[in-house]
Amino acid sequence: MSHPTSSHKHDHDHHDHAGHDHKEHAHHEHADSCCSTAAATLIQLTDKPSADAQVSRFRIEQMDCPTEQTLIQNKLAKLAGVQQLEFNLINRVLEVRHALPGTEPITEAIASLGMTAEPIVDGTGPAQTLPAPNKPWWPLALSGVAALAAEVIHFTGAAPTWVVAVVALVAIFSGGLGTYKKGWIALKNRNLNINALMSIAVTGAVLIGQWPEAAMVMFLFTIAELIEAKSLSRARNAIGGLMQLTPDMATVRQADGRWQDTEAKAVEVGMVVRVKPGERIALDGEVVSGQSSVDQASITGESLPVEKGVGDKVFAGTLNQAGALEFKVTAAANQSTLARIIHAVEQAQGARAPTQRFVDNFSRIYTPAVFAFALAVAIIPPLVAGGLWFDWIYRALVLLVVACPCALVISTPVTIVSGLAAAARKGILVKGGVFLENGYKLDVLALDKTGTITHGKPVQTDFVALDPLFAEKGPIIAGSLGGRSDHPVSLAIALQTEARLEVGEFAALPGRGVRGEVDGELYHLGNHRLVEELGLCSPELEAQLDVLERQGKTVVLLLDKSGPLALFAVADTVKETSQQAIEQLHALGIKTLMLTGDNPHTAQAIAAQVGIDRAEGNLLPEDKLSAIESLYAQGHRVGMVGDGINDAPALARAELGFAMAAAGTDTAIETADVALMDDDLRKIPAFVRLSRQTRAILTQNIVLALAIKAVFLAITFAGMATMWMAVFADMGVSLLVVFNGLRLLRK
C-alpha cells in the first residue's frame, strides 16, 4: 500500500530510497515456495484512473508467491475496466481498482486459475483475517512411511521393482501433489522457481528408474518446506502480534451517563472511555479524569511505566497499571498510533533493501543459467565424450536441486523483516529495509538542540537576591508578574512559587519583558536589553550576567526605579539520557554535531555539557541544510535528528532522518526515515548497532549460501553427490540462513 510520503522527502538523488519504489515490479517470494516476503507491489495497468473507478479488496489463500501474482496479473490485465492492482503477499491480499459493475468478473477470473478470492468487507483487513487452516498431517506421514519403505525394499531386494515403484509413487503423490501443482503453474508462466526445479528433478529420477530416491527427495523437500514456512511465519507475525495487544471491547460512557461495553472499532472520536487497573487501553486518547501509571513498552519501548494524569496522552495497546482512568478518544481504532506503526512496518517489509535487490536480480539471471547448464551436463558428455546417459542425466538432476537459489533468495527478506520487528519492539520505527541497512554507514550525526538534546521547556536554574530585602518577596513579585505573561521564560519563573500578589497597570514589553504595579510600586521583569534601556546597568551586574549567559542561561531581572532587586536565570535543561547517548555514539565511531537556532553561547554550553564534538548556533533551517551539504562534500555519511517539521530540509538531505517524540504525532511517523517512539536519544546508537548486526547477518547468509552451493556443485560434477544429499544441502542451507536471520528477534 503506497503510504503517504512527506513533502520534503525523497526528492534528492544522493541515495536510493527503495522504500517508496512501489511501481518497480518486485519479484519477491514467500514461505511455501521459497519465496521472499514482499509486502506490497503496485501494478498500474492504465495511465489515468476513470472517474467511476472503485476499489475492491480480496483475500486469496493460494496467493503466496510472485508465481501466483504473475498469473493473476496476466489474467486480470485482460479484463476491460481493471485499472490498477496492488498485491500484498504478506497478508495474501489483492486490491483492485476497477470500473466494473461488480466484483463477479474478478472472482471468476481468479477462480479459473484454481484460486479462491474472498472479498474483504469494509472494516476488516489483513490484521483481522484468520490464519490459514492447518493442513491434515496424515498425507505427509504416509509419504514418509512410503519413502522409507521404498528405500528398505530396494536395498534388501525383498520385492520386485514394480512394488518399489508403486510404494515410491504413493510417497511422491501423498506428499508432493502441492509441489507438482505449483511447479506446473510456474512452468506455464516460464518461472523456474524451486517447485518447478523439484518437479523436474523428481520426474527425471522416476523416468531413469531411481524410484526410492525420487520418493525420498520429495518427502525431504516437503518436510523442509514445512519447517521453513513455520520459521518464516514467525518473522511475518512478529509485528502482526502487536495488533492482538488492543482489546476488542471498550467501556464507553453513554449520553445518559451509564457505562457500556462497546466494540472498540465502533467507538467514535470524542467519546469518553473508562479503563480499570490491569486492563489494556483500547484506543488512543487524552486523560480527563484519574491518575495511574501506564506500561507503554509496546509503543515506545520504555522499560519503566509512565505516570499519567489529566491532559496526558494514552495509547491503544498499552497496559494501565495502578489506578482507574477516564479518557477522551482522540483517534478511531484503525487510526491509533499502534495501528499506524503496524501499517508503517508492513509498508517497510515491502521496501526492498539494497542487498535484497541485488539478490533478486542475481537469482533472476542465475536460475535460468543453472537450468541451461544442467541441460548441457545431461546432453553434452554422452554425445561428445561417450559418457553414460544414465550417469550424466542423474548428475544434471542433482545439479538442479543443489543449484536452486532458494537459500539466497530467502535469506535477505527474513533478516530484514526480523530487523524491522526487533527495532519496533525497542520503540524504533524504521520506514524500510533500505534505511535499516544503510544505518551502518553513518559516521556523523547532526542533532537539533531544543526537544532533542534538551527537554524543550525552560526551567528556573538560579536565583540571586541583589537586594537582601527581596530574598523572600522577590520570587513572589516576579512570579506574580511572570504569571500574567505568556512567554515561556516568564512562566518558568512563575512556576517556582504558588503565592500570587495583585498586579495592576500590567503591560507586556515585546522582546524585553513585562511591567506592573504590586502594592503600589512599579516593577519591571525583563532581560538584559531592558536593563540597558532603563539605564540601570553597571559593570558589576554586566560581569554577573556574562558568567550566566556563557553557561547557556537566559537571565531575567526584577527591577524597580532604583535598580535591579533580584536576578533569575532560566535554561532549557538537558535530558538525563542525552550524555549517555552521545557517549554510545562516540564508542561506535560516530562524530556528533549540534545545529541550533539558539545563540552560540548556549549552543557551546550545552554541547560541552553532553560531550558533543562541535556546535553551531544562530542557524536558520536553510543554514542547517548547508551544514549537512558541506559534510557530504567532505565525504561523510550524515544522519540528522530533529522534530520532523522545523528541521525538514536538513532531515530530507541527510542519509537518514530521525524524528524525535514520535508517539502520537502523525507527521513524525509519516515523514521520518526512522521515528523514535519516545524522547530517548539512546535509541539512535541502539538503531546503529541493530543496523550493523543486520548487515553482518546478511553478509554471513550470502557467503554461506554461495560457499555451500559451490562445494556441492563441485561434488556433484565429480559424481559423488546423490539427490537426497542435494536436498539436504539445499534445504539445510535455507533453514540455516532463516534461523540466522531470526536471531535478530531474540536481541
Question: Is the separation of the CB atoms in 318 and 304 below 8 Å?
Answer: no
Which long-range CB contacts under 8 A does 474-477 form with residues at least 24 apart?
Answer: 474/558, 474/565, 474/566, 475/566, 475/568, 476/500, 476/501, 477/501, 477/518, 477/523, 477/558
d(CA 421, CA 618): 39
d(CA 697, CA 743): 9
Nearest alpha carbon to residue 692 among 518, 363, 437, 494: 437
21, 284, 360, 448: which one is catalytic?
448
Q: Is the dihedral of CA 655, 659, 663, 666 positive or negative?
A: negative
Residue type at 213?
E
Structure-block grid coordinates of residue 618: 544562530
Query: Is residue 746 helix, strand or coil?
Result: helix
Question: Is the separation of the CB atoms in 443 and 437 below 8 Å?
Answer: no
Q: Is the dihedral of CA 261, 264, 268, 272 positive or negative?
A: positive
Work out whether strand 521-526 and strand 444-447 pair parallel, antiparallel, or are unpaired: unpaired
d(CA 570, CA 553): 6
Query: What separation in angstroms does the CA of 423 have from each of 147, 239, 341, 675?
Result: 44, 10, 12, 10
HSE toward the beta carbon, residue 117, CA cutoff 13 A? 24
d(CA 286, CA 481): 31
Structure-block grid coordinates of residue 739: 534461523
User: Is position 122 annotated as part of the catalytic site?
Assistant: no
d(CA 416, CA 672): 18
DSSP for 109-154 reads HHHTTT--EEEPPTT--GGGSPPPPPPPSHHHHHHHHHHHHHHHHH
Nearest alpha carbon to residue 406 among 699, 697, 736, 135: 736
Residue type at 111?
A
Question: Is the separation of the CB atoms in 254 and 273 below 8 Å?
Answer: no
Catalytic residues: 448
